[in-house]
Chain A
């Protein structure tokens, strides 16, 4: 079995492949395109989202991870859709021509791609959700979400107003979750027509800023959530949440709240192990004392640090889309740093080694069995 990692960066994607998960071959593809997300469909075709401040958003596909072809369509809002002024303020530094002054709503980045039940989904900023039922040849907005009654009250996070997390229920095509920074976590039970916020039990003193959520689609009621304000678990599909931070490093946020801050989360579905990469609070955003550490929970509640093979004196970060599991046995887990290094473990997080280095800032990591 070959494992392929698609590592998205602002300058293209590194495709890292290995037959033994020890030695890795590397190719750099989609050169010149910021690659923000990728996903594989049920036929093994990989879709990679790109964006460019000059040339907009698009999706490339590949069957062999070498030759990439751009799809003729991409998620796009309607010309009459109105944008969020605060989001415009955040992203306007790249709006050289002033198009945002018109007040429209634009797809300026695809944050996540997701495939389930024969459909492709895209979570984008300005926050919204799109679906393609013809493998990316055309895209439709999911208006039940994009025109949510609470939309006017959505507040952008530090990186803008982005829908960055999509989860689906393997047993129920009508149930789905979406995470938005900083509007919170939403669930639909009717195929996307209506959406309810699912943040009960998550500290919301400063608003809801979900950073990532992971789960097993076959056991979809159990969710693990890395929030700006700590790590949480839900056993009822997101209806209620409990803090689970035993063993995690807890730090002080800028407002004094103490919790375990971080961005990515990933699950090895065979073992049920979940992984997070804590950072020292929202003011610092680097590993505690410079020791890069992955924390793992095996029982879904208690965490232990895994540092073997990971560097100390390390003051980088791991972004929300930059960790993935390969779902092999034993589980392989991979993450990329904001300073361009990729680390991998082939023993479910017990030990780590550097898979690649010298890459640009890493924005997304996905692992595929080939």
Chain B
């Protein structure tokens, strides 16, 4: 089922969207939502998917308090009206 989902962007990606902190995408899974966002906003899409078409591996999303990793995006379903918080995996000290 396809549904509208709000996605909160990490601060560095807001510069790509002219300062917009939250964008709307559609899809029944996180993978579909990100694919929809990339189609709507090609500049943002560069940062979501690599050359092989895979979600960038350091991106993670918080959905209903659960941390979803890139390898789980394709299968993880989201409900209509869901809010995702996009961030990057912890790295470094």
Do A and B assemble together? Answer: yes
Using CB atoms and an 8 Å cutoff, list the residues of chain A in contact with chain B.
30-33, 52-58, 68-74, 76-79, 81, 95-99, 102, 104-107
Complex CA–CA separation, A320 to B51 (angstroms)? 27
Using CB atoms and an 8 Å cutoff, list the residues of chain B in contact with chain A.
11-13, 15-16, 18, 42-43, 46-47, 50-54, 56-59, 70, 88-89, 91
Known: A52-B12, A54-B59, A97-B58. 19 other contacts (CB 8 A): A32-B15, A53-B58, A54-B58, A55-B58, A58-B46, A58-B47, A68-B15, A69-B18, A70-B15, A70-B46, A71-B43, A72-B42, A72-B43, A72-B46, A78-B51, A96-B57, A96-B91, A99-B54, A106-B51
Q: Which of B43, B52, B88 contacts A58 (CB 8 A)?
A: B43
Jot down 21 A-B pairs with beta carbons below 8 A, ordered by A.
A33-B12, A54-B59, A55-B12, A55-B13, A55-B56, A55-B58, A56-B47, A56-B56, A70-B15, A72-B42, A72-B43, A73-B46, A78-B51, A79-B52, A95-B57, A96-B57, A96-B58, A96-B89, A97-B89, A102-B52, A106-B50
> Which among B12, B89, B91 has the greatest number of chain A C-beta atoms within 10 A?
B12
Q: Is the CB of A30 within 8 A of B50?
A: no
Q: Is the CB of B15 within 8 A of A33?
A: yes
Complex CA–CA separation, A106 to B54 (angstroms)? 12
Main secondary structure, interface of A, reads loop
Min Cβ gap A35→B in Å is: 12
Task: With A53-B58, A56-B56 as known contacts, state yes or no: A99 contacts B50, CB within 8 Å.
Answer: yes
Task: With A56-B56, A70-B43, A97-B57 as known contacts, state yes or no: A104 contacts B51, CB within 8 Å.
Answer: yes
Q: Is the CB of B16 within 8 A of A70?
A: yes
Complex CA–CA separation, A55 to B16 (angstroms)? 11
